[in-house]
């Protein structure tokens, strides 16, 4: 597995918007955040343009994404926002030769598409972490501090303690070595049948989502099961599932589904779309352990 390309002061960070756009004010906050880290932000002046759904038209977003991925002067790529749109431009990446050195790619939600493609096709590790549009005001300081340590190499392992076991298999003493794949449940579901379909054999699968009612979560999980994506996986870790109207039904939904699987199923409340959104490395070595006291720990190399 390739290692992360970690950052140092004055490294150059490209802001991408392969999905939704945003306001100039939010973009300015994102630029200020990157500068405060001691990094140099780059983005085109016309990053936001006319489109039916997205930050700009497909051709523009495609060309910008390719440019920053192959540009040797860019050290990291940080998504401005999630939403929808990355799946409309991902096919173009199959036509270019991957650079020898991986860049640090940061984002979540719709950026799940990019995580899956880069992890599986280019063998690049990526970082599931807050997008720039919400990192300043919608993410807590603990999550931001953890992110800073990780991207600058001050912390070489991401540790998630006290994962909650959700099925019988998760009550056994196990030690699982693998890597993490997945991300936003809706986008993982959209990958099925595509060239960037999630590959789960011998993997630890991670899933989270927002705005999906409990019955729709159940429907998606059952589709995954019927499509066989859990059959050869080593474990399943649920992150946050946030939905105002049916929140009280979500944990029972996850628990009921967990009992249908033979692999360990666990819950982590620190990763997702919430105020606490800890960075999760994907495509690197990971260890999932059931400790003597019955609690689980996930450790992922940077």
Catalytic residue set? 109, 208, 273
Helical ranges in 179-300 per DSSP H: 185-191, 214-227, 247-258
CB contact burial 25-44 (16+ within 10 A = b; e otherwise): ebbebbbebbeebebebbbb
- Which H or E run includes 206? strand 204-210
Helix, strand or coil, per DSSP, at residue 39: coil
List CB contacts of 28: < 8 A, sequence separation 6 or more. none
- What CA–CA distance (Å, rounded) separates 152 from 36? 13
* C-beta neighbour count of 105 within 10 angstroms: 28
């Amino acid at each position: 597995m390739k290692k992360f390309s970690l950052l140092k002061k004055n490294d150059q960070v490209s802001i991408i918007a392969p999905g939704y756009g945003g306001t100039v004010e939010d973009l300015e906050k994102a630029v200020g955040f990157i500068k405060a880290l001691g990094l140099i932000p780059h983005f085109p002046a016309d990053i936001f343009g006319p489109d039916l759904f997205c930050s700009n038209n497909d051709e523009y977003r495609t060309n910008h994404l390719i440019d920053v991925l192959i540009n040797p002067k860019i050290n990291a790529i940080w998504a401005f926002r999630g939403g929808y749109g990355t799946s409309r431009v991902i096919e173009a990446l199959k036509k270019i030769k991957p650079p020898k050195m991986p860049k640090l790619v940061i984002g979540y939600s719709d950026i799940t598409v990019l995580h899956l493609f880069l992890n599986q096709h280019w063998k690049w590790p990526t970082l599931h972490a807050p997008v720039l549009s919400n990192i300043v005001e919608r993410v807590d300081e603990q999550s931001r501090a953890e992110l800073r340590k990780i991207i600058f190499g001050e912390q070489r392992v991401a540790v998630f303690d006290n994962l909650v076991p959700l099925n019988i298999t998760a009550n056994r003493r196990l030690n699982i070595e693998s890597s993490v794949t997945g991300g936003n449940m809706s986008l993982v579901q959209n990958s099925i049948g595509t060239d960037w379909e999630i590959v789960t054999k011998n993997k630890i699968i991670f899933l989270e989502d927002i705005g999906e009612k409990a019955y729709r979560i159940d429907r998606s999980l059952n589709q995954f099961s019927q499509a066989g994506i859990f059959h050869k996986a080593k474990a399943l870790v649920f992150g946050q599932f946030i939905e105002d109207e049916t929140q009280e039904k979500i944990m029972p939904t996850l628990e009921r589904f967990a009992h249908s699987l033979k692999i360990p199923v666990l819950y982590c409340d620190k990763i997702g779309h919430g105020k606490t959104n800890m960075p999760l490395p994907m495509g690197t070595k990971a260890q999932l352990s059931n400790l003597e006291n019955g609690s689980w720990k996930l450790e992922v190399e940077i």
